[in-house]
């Protein structure tokens, strides 16, 4: 019989960080979201770069800025950054970037590695709908015809190239 099933990203983190599927699932079953809070918002628009017939090219993404587990309080917190940029050709017509803090209460006995992995993985999914709403509202206020942002599963997380690879 095989162990608990984990998402691919979590399974990779489990091997790298040394926690088991059972430990992760124990955290997942007992974690409770305490807050999702917008902590930073950057917005920029250039209406002159938007022609009526312009087809805007979208660039969007997300990253984990930080994640910590506090054993004393039994909480895990992460800061996520989401962004969307719309360009007309090479000219940036609209951009919106937001940072969200997500805080979870963890079950008693949670290992730090499993708790932070859960917070990084699930917290991103928890905060993203708030960013989608903010980006849509900012685009509407700016008069930008921004299509709905994709679901997070369709949003690739592209690792940054190593310095040696970037220089090659």
Tell me if 66 is assigned to some domain. yes
pLDDT for 160:
46
Contacts with 148 (C-beta within 8 Å, 6 or more apart), sequence order? 132, 136
Percent share of the chain, pLDDT over 90: 51
Tell me if 14 is assigned to some domain. no
Tell me if 151 is assigned to some domain. no
With vertex at residue 70, the alpha carbon angle to CA 64 and CA 74, rounded to the nearest 5 degrees, is 110
Q: What is the mean pLDDT of residues 50-68?
A: 84
Tell me if 5 is assigned to some domain. no
User: Of 34 and 90, which is predicted with more confidence?
Assistant: 34
pLDDT for 146:
82
Identify the H or E element spanning 23.
Answer: helix 21-30
pLDDT for 164 beyond 60: no
Tell me if 164 is assigned to some domain. no
Give dist(CA 101, CA 89) in Å, integer: 33
Tell me if 130 is assigned to some domain. yes
Q: What is the mean pLDDT of residues 42-64?
A: 83
Task: Specify the CATH number for the domain of residue 58.
Answer: 3.10.420.10
Tell me if 168 is assigned to some domain. no
Average pLDDT value over all residues in the chain: 84
Judged by phi (left if over 0) then psi (alpha if -120 to 50, else beta), residue 68 lies in beta
Question: Measured in whole angstroms, how far is the alpha carbon of residue 83 from the centre of its chain?
Answer: 9
44: β partners: 95
Identify the H or E element spanning 34.
Answer: strand 32-45
Give dist(CA 39, CA 78) in Å, integer: 12
Of 43-52, 65-74, 83-92, give the range with the top mean pLDDT: 65-74
pLDDT band at 52 (very low <50, low <70, confident <90, very high): low
pLDDT for 162:
55
pLDDT for 4:
56
Q: What is the mean pLDDT of residues 22-49?
A: 90
DSSP 71: T
Give dist(CA 77, CA 103) in Å, integer: 4
pLDDT (tens digit, 9 = 90+) per residue, 109-158? 999 999 999 999 899 999 999 999 999 999 888 888 888 888 876 444 44
pLDDT for 61:
92
Name the residue among 71, 68, 78 with its Cα closest to residue 35.
78
E strand intervals along 51-129: 57-70, 75-88, 91-105
pLDDT for 166 beyond 90: no
Tell me if 45 is assigned to some domain. yes
Q: Which domain holds residue 111?
A: 31-145
Domain count, the chain: 1
User: Of 160 and 95, which is predicted with more confidence?
Assistant: 95
């Amino acid at each position: 019989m095989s162990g608990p099933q984990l998402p691919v990203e979590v399974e990779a983190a489990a091997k790298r960080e040394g926690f088991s599927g059972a430990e992760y699932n124990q955290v997942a079953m007992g974690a409770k979201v305490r807050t999702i809070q917008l902590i930073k918002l950057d917005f920029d628009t250039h209406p002159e770069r938007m022609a009526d017939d312009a087809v805007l090219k979208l660039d969007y993404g997300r990253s984990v800025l930080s994640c910590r587990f506090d054993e004393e309080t039994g909480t895990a917190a992460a800061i996520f950054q989401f962004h969307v940029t719309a360009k007309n050709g090479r000219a940036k017509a609209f951009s919106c970037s937001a940072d969200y803090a997500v805080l979870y209460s963890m079950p008693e006995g949670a290992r730090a590695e499993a708790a932070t992995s859960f917070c990084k993985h699930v917290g991103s999914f928890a905060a993203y709908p708030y960013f989608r709403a903010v980006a849509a509202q900012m685009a509407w206020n700016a008069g930008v015809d921004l299509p709905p942002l994709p679901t997070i599963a369709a949003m690739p997380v592209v690792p940054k190239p190593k310095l040696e690879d970037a220089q090659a």
